Structure 1
Amino acid sequence: MTEQSKVSRDTAHRAPKRNSLFERADAAFGLDNLGPKAVPTNLPAQRAVPKQRKAEPAPQTEPQSQVQPQAAPQEPSFTQAPSSAPVEAPFGVGEQQSKPVRAVTLCGPMMEIDRDHMVDADLIVPEDPVTGLLEEFRIVKRELLADARASDDDLARRILICSPLPGEGKTYCATNLAIALAAERDIEVVLIDADMINPSITRRLGVDAGPGLMDALADKTLKPEELVSPTDIDGLFIMSAGTSSALDAEYLTSARTHEVLDRLTRGAPNRFIIFDTPPALAASPAAELAAHVGQAVLVVRADETSRASLDDASQLLSACPDIKLLLNAAQFSPSGRRFGDYGEREE
């Protein structure tokens, strides 16, 4: 067994060669020699320069000042992205939003108006020479056109023709007014027979009646433009009254009426609609359609229509913002005006 006797440290320093391995390790790495070491004096000069530059604050603030100008222009580029996004919309989206609404094409079956029926009904015949009757309705249409163009909306181009009582000439005036308006250049006139009780537009013009206004209101699958027929009078279209029922008044007050009329006039600034309705004091359709038009013409017969009837009819049509009066069958003019005989005189 190896002898392990205590060895004196002093003896170990005097005779280092005879120290054990542990004693030599303690002498080199032990705690006796701990303490700060002296700074070497022979260090190269170039090694001290980097240490002095790191301690200086000036080089650190200089890079920070250079970063700020680079960050500033990046913020506008970020905030401008949302404003440019609508311009870069997918193909077709922007076109649908900015594209104006196109008017529907009136594509009902073609109608040829019997000119003999027009003469017998004392209506304006487009091919005939200018008459006093045409000149009178030219004055009426000028007033309606001026107000419609001043308003510049769809309602003003929907005109209701009515009378307080039967026999005052409302269908006669509605038909002649539609023919006179159709003579204007670049204007389409849709004459709608809204007198479901006594429809007479087609009879006066000598054409066959077919599905019309009430059919479009009752059946939502029908397209109203397919029930409006062009005629051989340029610019004139006709829509029949259609199939009448006990629910005509309820159909006229439904939301479907707005949908049908809006479809016929939307996107068509040169399209006018003329309604021939029943007398206001005899049936309710006139009062119900008054809310869907911008102008109403109340036809009164000279020397026959009473003031009380006129007041009552005007009250029933009060949903229309503009009510005009048209005196029919007048035999005199306070100013002595008489149209139609100017060309007959010799100069």
Structure 2
Amino acid sequence: MELITFKKPKSPISEAYKTLRTNILFSSLDNKVKTIVVTSSGPGEGKTTIASNLAVTFAQNGNKTLILDCDLRKSKLHRIFNLSNQVGLSNILIGETSFMEENFKTEVENLYVIPAGTRPPNPAELLSSEKMEIFLENLKQTYDTIIIDTPPVLMVTDAQILSKYSDGVILVVSSGEADKHAAQRAKELLEKVNAKILGAVLNKLDTTKKGYYGYYYYYYYGSDGQKHNQTKKRRFFSR
């Protein structure tokens, strides 16, 4: 797991993340997309890496950005940013500590990270609580963009719960690993709770082949309620 958008901001992969950011910003012209849930159908598809690098691109764009680790069962966000996970979201929600912005600042300008914190015995109940809803509403008053990293949709209900508080959901799909029916089922579960699915990111493409061209497939729903497709072609390697 690497913050390539921070360490190599001019790399082709970083440019792909910027394209993703741009597509998100243009996915809803009527309502600003401010709070974004990033999830996947199953584990190991790279959603935390996608969420982290996407958050960096928003911060680089001048947005005061917060990334929130809501995967309270298997948190990984603190590892990417080399932070302690002793105090985080769970500790704030149960009142053990108060939220102080300066404690969650990162080396990336404009970017703040709230790790998951102590693993609670009741993650779903905590995330669906009134305290969580109020906390998120307060954060929206402070930050331009909030990225929420959640557990996989098919494992637990957390992503569905959190999608109710968000302006949209990004579904990460691992190339060559994700089961097609699992991804479709994840989409259906999100739609059952009226989540606005902004698009899907195809992750872990094989870029080792000579002259390989990567395709970023993105779909969104317009104001007419119809599904639209958009394909971005990007050359990653040419050796």
Q: Same fold (TM over 0.5)?
A: yes
Unaligned runs of 5+ in 1: 1-120
C-alpha distance in 2, partners of 1:227/1:251? 24
Query: Which residue of the partner structure matches residue 15 of structure 1?
Result: none
C-alpha distance in 2, partners of 1:204/1:127? 12
Query: Which residue of the partner structure matches residue 234 of structure 2?
Result: 337
Work out which of the residue numbers 133, 145, 166 in structure 1 matches 2:43.
166
The TM-score with structure 1 as length reference comes to: 0.57
Distance 1:128 1:252, change over 3 A: closer
Aligned partner of 1:174: which letter? A
Compare the two structures and name the one with the higher strand fraction.
Answer: 2
- Deviation string for 1:98-132 (max 9, x for gaps)? xxxxxxxxxxxxxxxxxxxxxxx332253545101
- Deviation string for 1:46-91 (max 9, x for gaps)? xxxxxxxxxxxxxxxxxxxxxxxxxxxxxxxxxxxxxxxxxxxxxx
Question: Is residue 245 of structure 1 aligned with residue 95 of structure 2?
Answer: no
SS of residue paired to 1:135: helix
Query: Which residue of the partner structure matches residue 6 of structure 1?
Result: none
- Deviation string for 1:246-289 (max 9, x for gaps)? 222112112111100000112x4x61111111111112211111
Q: Is the 8 A contact 1:136 1:339 kept in 2?
A: no
Distance 1:225 1:263, change over 3 A: farther
What does residue range 198-209 of structure 1 map to in structure 2 within 5 Å?
Answer: 198-209=74-85
Query: Which residue of the partner structure matches residue 49 of structure 1?
Result: none
Distance 1:244 1:148, change over 3 A: farther
C-alpha distance in 2, partners of 1:206/1:140? 25
Larger Cα-atom Rg: 1
Query: Which residue of the partner structure matches residue 111 of structure 2?
Result: 236
Question: Is residue 274 of structure 1 aligned with residue 147 of structure 2?
Answer: yes
- Deviation string for 1:147-166 (max 9, x for gaps)? 466413xxx31111101011
Aligned partner of 2:182: which letter? S
Question: Is residue 139 of structure 1 aligned with residue 7 of structure 2?
Answer: no
Between 315-324 and 275-284, report the one with greater CA deviation: 315-324
Aligned partner of 1:337: which letter? R
Q: Is the 8 A contact 1:225 1:264 kept in 2?
A: no
Aligned partner of 2:65: which letter? V
Query: Which residue of the partner structure matches residue 228 of structure 2?
Result: none
Query: Which residue of the partner structure matches residue 183 of structure 2?
Result: 310
Aligned partner of 1:309: which letter? A
- Deviation string for 1:25-65 (max 9, x for gaps)? xxxxxxxxxxxxxxxxxxxxxxxxxxxxxxxxxxxxxxxxx
Work out which of the residue numbers 150, 166, 173 in structure 2 matches 1:300.
173
- Deviation string for 1:186-209 (max 9, x for gaps)? x11111111111111111222222
- Percent identity of the aligned residues? 27
C-alpha distance in 2, partners of 1:291/1:229? 25
Aligned partner of 1:294: which letter? D
C-alpha distance in 2, partners of 1:141/1:216? 29
C-alpha distance in 2, partners of 1:228/1:290? 26
Query: Which residue of the partner structure matches residue 254 of structure 1?
Result: 129
The TM-score with structure 2 as length reference comes to: 0.80
Aligned partner of 1:263: which letter? N
Query: Which residue of the partner structure matches residue 178 of structure 1?
Result: 55
Unaligned runs of 5+ in 2: 207-212, 216-231
Aligned partner of 1:325: which letter? A
Aligned partner of 2:162: which letter? L
Aligned partner of 1:322: which letter? I
C-alpha distance in 2, partners of 1:183/1:226? 19
C-alpha distance in 1, partners of 2:72/2:122? 11
C-alpha distance in 2, partners of 1:159/1:260? 15
C-alpha distance in 2, partners of 1:289/1:150? 22
Compare the two structures and name the one with the higher helix fraction.
Answer: 1
Q: Specify which structure has the bigger relative contact order, considering alpha-carbon pairs within 8 angstroms and separated by 6 or more residues.
A: 2
Q: CA deviation at 1:235?
A: 0.8
C-alpha distance in 2, partners of 1:191/1:327? 21
Tell me how large the CA RMSD over aligned residues is.
2.4
Query: Which residue of the partner structure matches residue 193 of structure 1?
Result: 69
Q: Is the 8 A contact 2:69 2:115 kept in 1?
A: yes
Paired positions, count = 215
